[in-house]
Structure 1
Amino acid sequence: MKSLPGYESFPFEHTSNDLRIEHTVYRAGNGPAIIIMHELPGMVKETLELAKRLQTAGFTTYLPLFFGPPGRSASIPSMLGYTVRLCISREFYMLKKNKTSPIVDWLRALCRLAHEECGGKGVGAIGMCLTGSFAIPLMLEPSMIAPVISQPSLPGCVFGSRQSREACKRSLDFSPDDLEHAKHRCATEGLKIRGFKFSHDIIAPQQRFERLKQEFGESFVPFVIDSGPENPHGYNTASHAVFTVHYSHKEGTPTREAMDRLLDFYSKRLK
């Protein structure tokens, strides 16, 4: 278990449907709990910078480590290696449509622990890339009251005919039952789901946000950053990671506005 300066770390285990899952969790900060679910290529230094901003804003962050060492720099070789491992993992469903990955139940248990430890109204979460939509099925856990999705990339739409790949872009990576439960909570409890992405991100297709808007209506509040050709802020059309690798903290940039909206959402929901 590798240590991180300023963080407590602990192993967290949970068994669901005969699948035992254990990962190290890194905890820091004070205040209401927020679960940060890292993306490919791992818990990189930019992920820790996001966590630090949330800690400074008055939150306790819980960072489960799904793969790789924490705090390393992003690299293409490591990302490719982890992708291969994830494709055969029993914890993550990389290509299955309308099915909730087993790791989500482990994350629900982590939400319960975080709420017990930090108290308050409830727990927030943010998923990114391969964990992008996980905050929605996490809403089966009653303590989850501030779900955020960022550049959701699953299910991956890389195989099949052109028609099937296009249809896949509207698909979700959680079960219909989990979808209906989340919709029910939004309708009966007034919960909101915040979403963030770059407009031309082909890994997190725009059609997926359109599907979520169709399902949740006004309960889904998207913020889409223009990354099209000749956009005024000079974003590459391949820009993907809103809060980490492609984030700029410079005042007046769209990613800084996204961060301000994120912090405002968590403050209003959790404090």
Structure 2
Amino acid sequence: MGLLDSWTAGSHTADGLTYPTYRKGSGPGVIVIHEIPGITPGVIGFAEQVVARGFTVVLPSLFGRPEGPASAGEALRSIARICVSQEFSLFALGRTTGCAPWLRSLARRLHDELGGPGVGALGMCFTGGFALAMLADAPIAAPVLAQPASPAPLGRARAADLGLGPADLASVKAKVAAGCQVLGLRYDRDPAVGTRFDTLRRELGDGFVAVEFPGRKHSTLTEHPQPEGVERVLAFLEEKLTTKPET
């Protein structure tokens, strides 16, 4: 039995793009965006924990082979796809990912269906900053950045860049100033994250909540999971997405 056999396969089309999706659970909506190389067993395992906590989880498959291993070969194939795609960029400075309109549309559809305060959006590694891109122009109430690693931290400017265009950065800052918190997780000596946490602290102030673990590992929720990190994410989603009854 495949790891995704209990998930409902579908697709979403927006902005001239169509990507497969996998859905499971009930309750408030959470979009979990996989890391390189794709929807690995580790990503599915984390998503299952979110489902078990009482959420409707949607896994978009943006690149890679669903259920493929988190191997060097799979990663190289995904990177090759990313490098020739107009929807993604490994190196662009001050630019929002080209798949942001598609992700925002997916969030709007999920929120229209499920209602509530908003949708959760979690990106990791290469897609870590995608949750911020969604916050800029979609009903995102719980954005989570797990070890954001794009653009590739080659040089000081890229190491600090958040992967947002100026207008989207201004929109994110306005929403955070209005009360939307952003949760970030990383290992404190992970070179892939660069100095983005410093940028997030500077741009978002107290609206950025950092959860940092010692070490040079990378994937805080999947391949090198930290139980405390997983619990912090689940608690954050519950706090921001669960409508509390009036007293």
TM-score class normalised by the smaller sequence? over 0.9
Q: Which of 204, 211, 214 is equivalent to 2:202?
A: 214
Secondary structure, in 3 states, of the residue corresponding to 1:183? helix
1:186 alignment partner in structure 2: 176
> Residue type matched to 1:74 in 2?
A
Q: Distance in 1 between matches of 2:3 and 2:11?
A: 12
Write the distance in 2 (CA, Å) between the matches of 1:40 and 1:155: 13
Partner of residue 10, structure 1: 10
Deviation of 1:68 (Å): 2.3
Residue 170, structure 1, aligned to residue 160, structure 2: yes
Could you tell me which residue of structure 2 aligns to residue 107 of structure 1? 103
CA-to-partner distance for each residue in 1:38-64, whole Å, 9 max, x for gaps? Answer: 010110001011110000000000000
Where does residue 81 of structure 1 map in the other structure? 77
Residue 242, structure 1, aligned to residue 231, structure 2: no
Work out the CA distance in 1 between the residues paired with 2:132 and 2:65.
27
Give the SS at the match of 2:54. Answer: coil
Q: Is 2:137–2:171's contact at 8 Å kept on the other side of the alignment?
A: no
Residue by residue, what CA displacement relative to the aligned partner does 1:50-90 show, whole Å, maximum 9, x if unpaired? 11000000000000001222112211011012112201211
> Does 2:244 correspond to 1:266?
no
State the TM-score, normalized to the length of structure 2: 0.94
Q: Which residue of 1 aligns with 2:192?
A: 203
- Which sections of structure 1, spanning at least 5 residues, go unmatched? 159-164, 228-236, 248-254
Corresponding residue for 1:251?
none
- Cα distance in 2, alignment partners of residues 153 and 139 from structure 1: 18
Q: 2:121 aligns with which of 125, 129, 147?
A: 125
The corresponding residue for 1:257 is 228
Q: What secondary structure sits across from 1:4 in the alignment? A: coil
Is 1:42 matched with 2:38?
yes
What is the distance in 2 between the residues matched to 1:123 and 1:40?
23
- After TM superposition, give the deviation of residue 93 of structure 1 in Å: 1.8
- Structure 2: 5+ residue stretches without partners: 243-247
Q: Percent identity?
A: 33
Offset at 1:142? 4.2
Is 1:147 equivalent to 2:143 in the alignment?
yes
Q: Given the alignment, which residue of 60, 64, 71 partners 1:68?
A: 64
SS at match of 2:192: coil
C-alpha contact 1:100 1:174 (8 A) present in aligned 2: yes
Give the distance between the partners of 2:124 and 2:114, measured in 1 at CA: 23
The question of whether the paired residues in 2 share the 8 Å contact of 1:91 and 1:101 is answered with yes
Counterpart Cα distance in 2 of 1:263 and 1:66: 23
TM-score, normalisation: structure 1: 0.86
Residue 3 of structure 1, CA deviation: 9.1
How far apart in 2 are the matches of 1:26 and 1:49? 13
Count of residue pairs the alignment pairs up? 241
Contact 1:11 1:25 in 2 (8 A): yes
Residue 91 of structure 1: SS of its match in structure 2?
A: coil
Retained in 1: the 8 A contact 2:68–2:74?
no
**Paired residues of 1:112 and 1:141 also in contact (CA < 8 A):** no
Q: Specify the SS of the correspondent of 1:125.
A: strand
Larger Rg: 1
